[in-house]
C-alpha cells in the first residue's frame, strides 16, 4: 500500500524534472586575433562555425598575397599619343609592350623589353611595387632609358612622323597600380617617353604581370 501511495509522487517529480526548460546556451565569442580566447582543438572541430572560419582564414592567408623574389613577364596594351615639336605633329595610335624582368622581395623590379607603337623602342628600366599590408591595390613607380627602333612601326602616323630628325634616345617614367591575384597581377599603367625636348610620347593602357 505504501509503495502504491509513493508511486504517483515519484512519477510527478520525474515528469517535472523532464519538463524543466534547459538553460539558454550562449555561443562563445571567438577572437582569432587573441590566442587567449581560442578554444580547445577537440571542441573546435565539433563547432561548425569555428571550422568554417578557420578554413576561410587559411585560404585567405595563403592565396590573397603572392611572394616576390622571382622573374616575371610584363605586358601592356593601349594607346600611344605622340607630341612632336620637330616638324610639329600630334597623333594617337595603338601600342603593345612586352618585357621580362626580375623582382626582389622588397618590390624592386629590373626589366628590359620592347614597345611596339608608332614610335617603337627598346628599353631597360626599374620599377618599384609598393605592397600595403591591408589594401589590395598596389601602386608602382618606375623609370628607365631606351632608344627608338625606326624600322618597325605599329602605324605610320601623319606625313611629318617619318620625317622626324630629332633625338632618338629617350628616358621614360612610368606609374600605375596593380591588383594582385594568384601568381598574376592586373594593372593599369601610364608611361611618359621623353626624347629630349623634341618629342613626347604618352602611352596608357592595361595589362598583366605574370610572376613565374
Every domain of the chain with CATH number 2.40.160.20 lies at 70-211
Place of cell 603593345: 96
C-alpha span between 30 and 33 (Å, rounded): 9
pTM of the model as a whole: 0.65
What cell does 3 get? Answer: 509503495
Which CATH number does the domain 70-211 belong to among 2.40.160.20, 3.30.160.40, 3.40.50.410, 3.40.50.300?
2.40.160.20
Beta bridge partners of 202: 81, 192
List of residues 6+ apart from 110 with CB closer than 8 A: 101, 102, 103, 125, 126
- What is the enclosing helix (H) or strand (E) of 58? helix 48-63
Q: pLDDT in tens for each of the 212 residues of the chain?
A: 555 555 566 656 555 655 555 555 555 555 555 655 555 565 555 566 666 676 666 655 555 456 788 999 999 999 999 998 877 888 888 899 999 999 998 899 999 999 999 899 999 999 999 988 777 789 999 999 999 998 888 777 788 888 888 899 999 999 999 988 877 889 999 999 999 889 999 999 999 999 88
Amino acid at each position: 500500500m505504501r509503495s502504491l501511495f509513493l508511486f504517483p509522487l515519484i512519477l510527478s517529480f520525474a515528469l517535472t524534472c523532464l519538463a524543466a526548460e534547459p538553460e539558454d546556451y550562449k555561443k562563445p565569442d571567438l577572437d582569432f586575433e587573441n590566442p587567449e580566447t581560442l578554444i580547445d582543438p577537440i571542441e573546435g572541430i565539433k563547432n561548425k562555425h569555428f571550422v568554417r572560419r578557420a578554413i576561410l582564414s587559411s585560404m585567405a592567408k595563403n592565396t590573397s598575397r603572392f611572394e616576390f623574389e622571382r622573374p616575371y613577364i610584363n605586358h601592356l596594351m593601349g594607346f600611344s599619343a605622340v607630341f612632336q615639336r620637330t616638324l610639329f605633329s600630334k597623333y594617337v595610335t595603338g601600342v603593345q609592350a612586352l618585357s621580362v624582368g626580375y623582382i626582389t622581395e622588397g618590390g624592386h623590379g629590373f626589366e628590359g623589353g620592347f614597345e611596339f607603337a608608332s614610335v617603337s623602342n627598346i628599353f631597360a628600366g626599374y620599377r618599384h611595387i609598393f605592397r600595403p599590408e591591408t589594401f589590395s591595390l598596389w601602386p608602382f613607380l618606375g623609370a628607365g632609358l631606351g632608344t627608338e627602333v625606326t624600322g618597325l612601326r605599329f602605324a605610320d602616323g601623319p606625313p611629318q612622323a617619318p620625317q622626324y630628325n630629332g633625338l632618338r634616345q629617350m628616358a621614360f617614367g612610368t606609374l600605375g597600380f596593380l591588383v594582385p591575384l594568384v601568381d598574376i597581377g592586373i594593372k593599369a599603367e601610364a608611361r611618359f617617353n621623353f626624347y629630349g625636348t623634341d618629342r613626347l610620347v604618352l602611352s596608357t593602357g592595361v595589362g598583366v604581370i605574370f610572376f613565374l
